[in-house]
Structure 1
Amino acid sequence: MVIKKVSIIGLGALGILFGHQLAKKMPRADLRIIADQNRIQRYQQNGVFCNGECCDFNYVTPEEPCEPADLLIMAVKFNGLKDAIQSVQKHVGENTIILSLLNGITSEEIIGEIYGMDKILYSVAQGMDAVKVGNQLTYDHMGMICFGESETGLISERVNVVTEFFEQMEVPYKVDSDMLTRLWGKFMLNVGVNQTVAVFESNYGEVQQEGPARSKMISAMKEVISLSEKAGVQLTEEDLDYWLGVLGTLSPDGKPSMAQDVEAKRISEVELFSGTVVKLGKRFGVPTPINQELYHRIKLIENRYTMIG
């Protein structure tokens, strides 16, 4: 199998970032950006920009007949996943490979329930410092897509197919034979950095240096380590150090998605982060006071602007 046709749903930071890279390397008709008619009209009228370059994307509606994608990239926010799963129906065929770039630890299973886990490769996007304001995306570090099978130690033919494609497209990537640990590790980082930077109304720089914000972030991350032990994943202090190292590579002026949501007065993915941690804590009998605090503080922030709105 060779990947020729690619479909992407979701033009947030990740969709634009990797869509723009693919668009520079692929025939225009072979890269489809799935969106409803209203969004397409807005994208076409206002443009979509990546580091100042206008993205010349090929937009298709969910209803439009098409060949199934060889590779389908899900890049929506978690609260848009249910609708996205319905919208990509015509793009999923017998041999379609699906990569979910969503945050959290549950999207692969949710997508797999509908289209089959045999189509899913576990994946994580990490190391990018993209900031999206309106229709403008800017970044210093593109980061990479880490992917692999759910089964530890397995490097499958599907993994090799995606590897070859990313090589051709010059998309930074890493094949990981222990994707569940990486998935939980990225979740741990998001639980810490997304929520802390949002609550402190700051940026990566604030949590890259010693101080109250960094201490709060690390405490929230350590609660995920405790949960992982109960879930059979076994994150360690070494994993914590690795992800703090990833954080250290990002532009100090950059901000994670939740901080950008709070600035724009949008509902955030707090349910996906501390919401999930608190629920798992209750299930496993693990105390999660830091995440309970972060959840409460972010909900208060959101309530202020939803009441005003």
Structure 2
Amino acid sequence: MEIKKVSIIGLGALGILFAHHLSERMPKGDLRIIADEERIRRYKRDGVYCNGQRCEFNYLNPEDKEDPADLLIFAVKYNGLNKAIQAAKNQVGEQTIILSALNGITSERIIGQTYGMDKILYCVAQGMDAVKEGNRLTYEHMGMLVFGEQEPGVISQRVKRVAQFLESMAVPFEAVTDMNRRMWGKFMLNVGVNQTVAVYENNYGGIQKEGSARETMIAAMREVMVLSEKEGIYLTETDLTYWLNLLDTLNPKGKPSMRQDMEARRFSEVELFSGAVLELGKKYGVATPVNQELYRRIKEIEAQY
């Protein structure tokens, strides 16, 4: 079954990036942006811009009933996930495939509790250097979507359907058979780069060069490597090098989402990063002092809002 109708919920950096790209290649009615009435009014009044171009999106209220989406993409922040799951109810049908572009390693399970794990493909979005300020997004590197089944070694028909669609839309992607490892690798990267750039108040350039910020980032990532062994994932130095090399390709002036949140005085996704590391450390009796300190400093900053 060919993917024709796509729904996206969440117009943060990733939502705008992919929605704008797809809107230039799909019939307008086949790409739906799901948002509440207040957001829709604001989007239409103020506009949404991607690299200076005003986006012309087809907006749907959560209560609007049309044919279910063939592909549903969650691109919200973690603290908006539960609300987004309810808002997407009219988008999910028998054949709907769901991708989550959220950070962390838990969103697929949370979405699956409502819609069934049989509709979920595991996914990570990587390599983007998108920066969102207000209603304007800028980026140089689009990055790519990496996705696959949770079960290792399998390229299913669902994976093939999504791959065929993304290829037809010129969306960079990689369909893989080791999604647990990829998700833990992205988690390791986020734990290091998001938190370090936020605490040091710099940008990608600040951790692409040698110095205390890069040392802190790598130390935080190594704590995730130790925990991955306890979870049976076994991240290695090869994985660490892969993600550091990816990081070095990003625009040095770009900033990860947590730094952007703090600049806007929004509460961050720290519980997804060091918060999750501390919980796993407690579970397995593994010391995580670097993430403990990052967690403390981020909470200290947020307490001043």
Normalising TM by the smaller chain, what interval? over 0.9
In the alignment, what sits opposite 2:103? 103
- Would you say how many aligned residue pairs link Structure 1 and Structure 2? 305
Query: Gapped runs of 5+ residues in structure 1?
Result: none
**SS of residue paired to 2:303:** helix
**SS of residue paired to 1:304:** coil
Cα distance per residue 1:133-153 (max 9 Å; x no partner): 000000010000000011111
TM-score by length of 2: 1.00
Q: Which runs of 4+ in 1 moved over 2 A?
A: none
State the alpha-carbon separation in 1 of the partners of residues 44 and 201 from structure 2.
32
State the alpha-carbon separation in 2 of the partners of residues 39 and 143 from structure 1.
27
1:298 aligns with 2:278: no
After TM superposition, the structure 1 = structure 2 runs for residues 203-222 of structure 1, keeping only pairs within 5 Å, are: 203-222=203-222
1:116 aligns with 2:116: yes
In the alignment, what sits opposite 1:56? 56
In the alignment, what sits opposite 2:162? 162
Matched residue type, 1:83: K
In the alignment, what sits opposite 2:251? 251
Cα distance per residue 1:100-150 (max 9 Å; x no partner): 000000000111111011100000000010000000000010000000011
State the alpha-carbon separation in 2 of the partners of residues 237 and 168 from structure 1.
35
In the alignment, what sits opposite 1:190? 190
Matched residue type, 2:146: C
State the alpha-carbon separation in 1 of the partners of residues 10 and 223 from structure 2.
30
TM-score by length of 1: 0.98
Matched residue type, 2:119: K
Report the CA distance between 1:176 and its aligned residue.
1.1
Report the CA distance between 1:96 and its aligned residue.
0.2
In the alignment, what sits opposite 1:35? 35
Query: Gapped runs of 5+ residues in structure 2?
Result: none
Matched residue type, 2:90: K
In the alignment, what sits opposite 1:180? 180
State the alpha-carbon separation in 2 of the partners of residues 91 and 140 from structure 1.
31
CA RMSD of aligned residues (A): 0.4
State the alpha-carbon separation in 2 of the partners of residues 256 and 283 from structure 1.
28
Report the CA distance between 1:66 and its aligned residue.
1.3
Report the CA distance between 1:75 and its aligned residue.
0.3
Cα distance per residue 1:7-39 (max 9 Å; x no partner): 000000000000101100100001000000000
**SS of residue paired to 2:286:** coil
State the alpha-carbon separation in 1 of the partners of residues 200 and 62 from structure 2.
39
Cα distance per residue 1:55-110 (max 9 Å; x no partner): 10000010111111000000000000000000000000011000000000000011
State the alpha-carbon separation in 1 of the partners of residues 76 and 176 from structure 2.
23
Report the CA distance between 1:3 and its aligned residue.
0.3
